[in-house]
Chains A and B, each alone.
Chain A
Amino acid sequence: MSTWDWQVFCKDTIDGEIVSRCFGGAGDVTYLDWLFSAWGWTLSVSLLALIVALVFGSLMGILRTTPNRGLVLAGNAWTELFRNIPLLVQIFLWYHVVPALIPPLRGVPSFLLVVLGLGLFTSARISEQVKAGIQSLPRGQRMAGLAMGFTLPQTYRHVLLPMAFRIVIPPLTSEAMNIVKNSSVAFAVSISELTLFALQAQEETARGIEIYLSVTGLYFITAFALNRAFHFIEARVRVPGMIGGGH
């Protein structure tokens, strides 16, 4: 416990021998190789789930602010459904229950199921934020758009959404960072991402502290990089004089 042993990452995952350049090759895999591949899975799951979440979340958020009661109801139902079931339960439903009810889904790789599960769970949260963004605008804006002769979709596209999305960039940043952290549930359905790597590698090497520290570092780097990326976008699209854009 008392001494560090960072050499553990240079070990081959099969015979435990230390490989001289720390990266294996020709069929040899070191724990460092595995760590990077696990990071790749975490990034893939998170980024694809983020896309799913943004698409469905925005759509549902918009529906919930339309004048049509049916659409509002659909958007609300979607949001409450995915928001009120714990994430891990949703992942298990997608993995074990849904394929049992709909046999063709059995062939779908668990990677896509987890992207969908994580994406839809987060879409409920994004829908709430997009709705709040749109509702934070003065009602006169929507009326003005319609009075100008825009159709409802045009009013959304040219008047409401450009401002609403700028307003909700900060909470969306948090959601993007949350997706990275929540992607750790993917280990439960056999995606070989960082958490699965940590659980398995610490058992095999008995160097839990080093393994968990490096995995923690990679989660932090990933979430922080997303934070900076969103910050950059926020600064680039800022409109002086607009809500949240004046300073």
Chain B
Amino acid sequence: MKPIAVLQGLTFAASLLAALPALSQDGGTLKKIKDGGSATMGVRESSGGLSFTVGDGKFAGFHVELCQRALADVQKQLGLAKLDIKYQPVTSQNRIPLVQNGTVDIECGSTTNNAARQKDVAFAVTTYVEEVRIAVKANSGIGSIAQLNGKNVATTTGTTSVQHLRKHERATGMDFKEVFGKDHADSFLLLESGRAEAFVMDGQILAGNIAKAKNPADFKIVGEVLSVEPIAIMIRKDDPAFKKTVDDSLKALMASGEMAKIYDKWFMQPIPPANTRIGLPASEATRAAWANPNDKPMEDYAKK
């Protein structure tokens, strides 16, 4: 086990205990931030260019920067001389409970906005639209999902991609031999070592892993988009004042074109810690979300 995972577990346990008295949210998140002079941002250890650690307890990424800007607007609105931002690493398993119980005020990771989650939490306007794609070895000759029939296909346990593959199998009568990696790095290793012919995952995760590979030219992202998922900043449910502040802040960035510049900084330019480039231009769908800010769940994207 990585020591960081253990640490993360401990901080999670500690934060659960610490959160118990903070449960009452009568005045909403804005009041809580004003009273405490601090806000807690939920961040991910490794969510591609969206949210990741640069080591030493520091976090960065596209969504982290957006949240920092939104919190700066919150500070201005509240007239606070100083706003202390605390960073709390979260995982796919604990992010929703931690937002609900007040440990995390604003989660800036890679959370898909879907109808099931909207029952428990709220989402700011969609800032990134993820497309599930296929990564293969460049010399494999595979160009579409139809060519994966009967082949080993890697994906990561605990992600929605597993379900997309299953749905696709049912819809087309194809048969994939699914191989599950325990995390994205592991799944990529399956592709690299030849145990799997393809790795099906969110486009930016594929691009990030390829960028970090020993020889990025050996891999490419091919084929049709298997699924479209709106990724958004997550906040507590039923807190319209805080949601409006965050949304307004994001909408202003979208309207001024600043959003595209921030995207470019994290997805097209070299980023820490290793100064690699992800090299994933903003997709049509992402640009559409910036042009018409909305917080529609994933289900609305599937309909069209």
Residues of A within 8 A of B (CB): 1, 13-14, 27, 88, 96, 100, 106, 187-188, 190, 192, 196, 199-200, 202-204, 206, 208
> B182 near A: Cβ within 8 Å?
yes
The residue on B at minimum CB distance from A188 is: B182
Of all chain A residues, the one with the shortest Cβ separation from B157 is A199
Expressed in whole angstroms, the minimum distance between the Cβ of A67 and any Cβ of chain B is: 41
Q: Are the C-beta atoms of B179 and A190 separated by less than 8 Å?
A: yes
CB <8 Å contact, A208 and B179: no
Does the CB pair B193–A96 fall under 8 Å? yes
Knowing A1-B100, A188-B186, A206-B116, say if A88 contacts B158 (CB, 8 Å): no
Residue of A with least CB distance to B180:
A190
Which B residues between 170 and 204 are near A, CB-CB below 8 angstroms?
170, 178-182, 186, 189, 193-195
- Whether B117 sits at the interface, judged by CB under 8 Å, is yes
Contact B160–A204 (Cβ < 8 Å): yes
**Taking A14-B170, A187-B157, A203-B159 as contacts, is the C-beta distance between A196 and B180 under 8 angstroms?**
yes
A-side contacts of B160, CB under 8 Å: 203-204
Tell me which residues across on chain B come within 8 A of A190, comparing CB atoms.
178-181
Q: With a CB–CB cut-off of 8 A, which chain A residues contact B182?
A: 187-188
- State in angstroms the CA–CA spacing of A27 and B92 once bound together: 30
Q: List 22 A-B contacts (CB under 8 A).
A: A1-B97, A1-B100, A1-B120, A13-B163, A27-B170, A106-B195, A187-B180, A187-B182, A188-B182, A190-B178, A192-B180, A196-B157, A199-B158, A200-B157, A200-B158, A202-B158, A203-B158, A204-B162, A204-B163, A206-B116, A206-B117, A206-B120
Q: Is B7 an interface residue (CB 8 A)?
A: no
| Chain A nearest CB, measured from B113 CB (Å) | 13
- Asked if B76 is at the interface (CB within 8 A of a chain A CB), the reply is no
Closest 9 CB pairs of A and B: A199-B158, A190-B180, A188-B182, A206-B116, A190-B179, A203-B158, A199-B157, A14-B170, A204-B163
Q: Does B166 contact A (CB under 8 A)?
A: yes
Indicate if B86 sits at the interface (CB-CB under 8 A).
Answer: no
Prevailing SS type, chain B contact patch: mixed
| B167 contacts A by Cβ under 8 Å | yes
Is B162 within 8 A of A200, CB to CB?
yes
B166 and A100 contacting across the interface, CB-CB below 8 Å: no
Residue B139 is within 8 A (CB to CB) of chain A in the complex: no
Give the docked Cα–Cα distance between A212 and B293 (Å).
37
Smallest distance from the beta carbon of B23 to chain A beta carbons, Å? 12
Other A-B pairs, 14, CB within 8 Å; known A100-B193, A202-B93: A1-B100, A13-B163, A14-B166, A88-B1, A106-B194, A187-B182, A190-B178, A190-B180, A199-B157, A199-B158, A200-B157, A203-B159, A203-B160, A208-B93
Q: Which residues of chain B come closer than 8 Å to A199, judged between CB atoms? A: 157-158
Q: A199–B155 Cα gap in the complex (Å)? A: 13
Would you call B117 and A14 a contact (CB within 8 A)? no
Q: Which residue of A lies closest to B163 (CB)?
A: A204
Residues of B within 8 A of A14 (CB): 163, 166-167, 170
Nearest CB in chain A: distance from B193 CB, A: 7
Chain A residues, Cβ within 8 Å of B186 = 188
B residues near A100, Cβ cutoff 8 Å: 193
Which residues in chain B, 126-181, are within 8 Å of chain A measured between CB atoms? 157-160, 162-163, 166-167, 170, 178-181
Restricting to B84-110, which residues have a CB under 8 Å from any CB of A? 92-93, 96-97, 100
Proximity string of chain B (30-58) to chain A, C-beta cutoff 8 Å, 1 when within and 0 when not:
00000000000000000000000000000
Nearest B residue to A196, CB-CB? B157
User: With A and B bound together, what is the CA distance between A200 and B120 in angstroms?
Assistant: 19
- Rounded to whole Å, the gap between the CB of B119 and the closest CB of chain A is 8
Q: How far is the CA of A188 from the CA of B182 in the complex (A)?
A: 5
Residue from B93, B158, B166, B179 whose CB has the most chain A CB atoms within 10 Å: B158
CA distance A204 to B180 in the complex (A): 15
**Known contacts A96-B189, A187-B182; is-contact A13 B166 (Cβ 8 Å):** yes
Shortest beta-carbon distance from B185 to chain A in Å: 12
For the complex formed, measure the closest distance between the CB of A107 and the CB atoms of chain B, giving whole angstroms: 11
Cα(A95)–Cα(B160), bound, Å:
25
**Beta-carbon contacts under 8 Å, B41-86 to A:** none
Contact residues in A for B92 (Cβ distance below 8 Å): 203
Residues on the B chain within 8 Å of A88, using CB: 1
- Which residues of the other chain, A, contact B159 by a CB distance below 8 angstroms? 203
CB B152 to nearest CB in A, in angstroms, measures 10
Most chain A beta carbons < 10 A, residue from B178, B180, B186 = B180
CB distance from A57 to the nearest CB of B (A): 25
Q: Which residues of B contact A96 (CB under 8 A)?
A: 189, 193
State the CA gap A108–B200 with chains docked (Å).
23
